[in-house]
């Protein structure tokens, strides 16, 4: 397994990963399966308003989103970056998709990682591939309490 620097932060929300070691192992294993090395990866949990401001400032988008990913590595086969996840959107997604909130958080963690690896979701075909990757890696993720 790749030795990775993976960190979790909360900006303007109270949210913590309970079983952080399991999450670190799973994210590292996904990177290994995708044949990439993680340099420095930060997951930042935040609110809708916080992420909206990032969306406006850096992407010129004026709408809520569940996740924004910023790549920091320019080295082929090495990924790194900041992945911002809206806890508000994750809660709504969990209700909309009828899944447990923790499952939705895991899906977003994987989704952001897939973006850093190079997968996109701009077209219907790309969305399908992304969803298949998310579902596959979620199926490998052990249950955590």
Q: What are the tens digits of pLDDT across the range 50-80? A: 999 999 998 888 888 999 999 999 889 999 9
Mean pLDDT of 1-29: 88
Mean pLDDT of 24-38: 96
pLDDT band at 2, cuts 50/70/90? very low
Number of H helices, E strands in the chain: 5, 4
Q: How many beta carbons lie within 10 A of that of residue 105, not counting itself?
A: 21
Instruction: Indicate the average pLDDT of the chain.
Output: 93
Q: What are the tens digits of pLDDT across the range 83-117? A: 999 999 999 999 999 999 999 999 999 999 999 99
For 91-141, the DSSP string reads HHHHHHHT--HHHHHHHHHHHHHHHHHT---SSHHHHHHHHHHHHHHHHHS
Q: What CA–CA distance (Å, rounded) separates 141 from 107?
A: 10
Q: Are 46 and 9 in contact (CB under 8 A)?
A: no
- Please name each of the domains of the chain with its CATH number: 5-140 (3.40.390.30)
Mean pLDDT of 120-125: 94
Tell me, what's the pLDDT at 145? Answer: 56
Contacts of 91-97 with C-beta under 8 Å, sequence gap 24+, read: 93/66
Q: How many beta carbons lie within 10 A of that of residue 66, not counting itself?
A: 21
């Amino acid at each position: 397994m790749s030795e990775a620097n993976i960190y979790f932060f909360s900006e303007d929300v109270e949210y913590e990963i309970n079983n952080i070691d399991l999450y670190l192992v799973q994210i590292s294993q996904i990177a290994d399966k995708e044949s990439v090395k993680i340099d420095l990866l930060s997951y930042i949990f935040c609110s809708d308003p916080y992420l909206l401001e990032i969306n406006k400032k850096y992407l010129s988008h004026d709408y809520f989103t569940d996740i924004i990913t910023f790549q920091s590595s320019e080295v082929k086969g090495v990924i790194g970056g900041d992945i911002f996840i809206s806890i508000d959107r994750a809660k709504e997604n969990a209700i909309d998709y009828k899944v447990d909130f923790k499952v939705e958080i895991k899906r977003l963690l994987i989704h952001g990682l897939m973006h850093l690896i190079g997968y996109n979701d701009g077209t219907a075909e790309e969305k399908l591939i992304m969803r298949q990757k998310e579902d596959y890696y979620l199926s490998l993720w052990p249950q955590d309490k």
